[in-house]
Amino acid sequence: MLSFRRYIEESVTDPFSREKTGRKKIDDMLKNPKKYGVEAEVKIMTIKALQNAMAKGQKISVQKAYDKRMKMGGRKKVDNLKDLIKSGTKIDMPILDYAPGGFVQDGFHRALAAQELGIKKIPVAVIKRKR
């Protein structure tokens, strides 16, 4: 059996699902983008690129996004996610949804948990809606 550190090094994206985001409509968009009139793909992104995209979409810095989540009890959530990843549980992938009139993102805590475990890249559902 691989040590956890070696497992992380050899299978960078394994702790994250490449099929599920935890949001039914987004998952459906990934499976059938034409039905929804969107461009949808699963991209492998670095943690830093994901965090930067999320913060940019919110029009704040990565540090402010981090601080905001920690004020809302985020440390406990991040630690719980880390425990799930260590136990081998598949984690839903984060979302970047570039919707007209608003930006939707989900997964900052997951990205932070992965970062703290030394994971460099994770799958991300990227949705671009046609205007």
**Per-residue pLDDT tens for 58-110?**
888 888 888 888 888 788 999 999 999 998 889 999 999 987 777 888 998 99
Judge if pTM exceeds 0.85: no
User: What is the separation of C-alpha 94 from the centre of its chain, rounded to a whole number of angstroms?
Assistant: 2
CA distances from 110 to 17, 20, 62, 101, 117 (A): 12, 13, 14, 25, 11
CB proximity list for 125: less than 8 A, separation 6 or greater: 21, 26, 30, 40, 41, 42, 93, 94, 95, 96, 97
For the ranges 8-12, 53-57, 61-65, 125-129, which has the lowest average pLDDT?
8-12
At 62 the pLDDT is 86
Q: What beta strand segments (E) does the chain contain? A: 38-46, 95-99, 102-106, 121-129
Could you tell me what percentage of the chain is helix, strand and coil, using 3-state DSSP and rounding each to the nearest 5?
A: 50, 25, 30
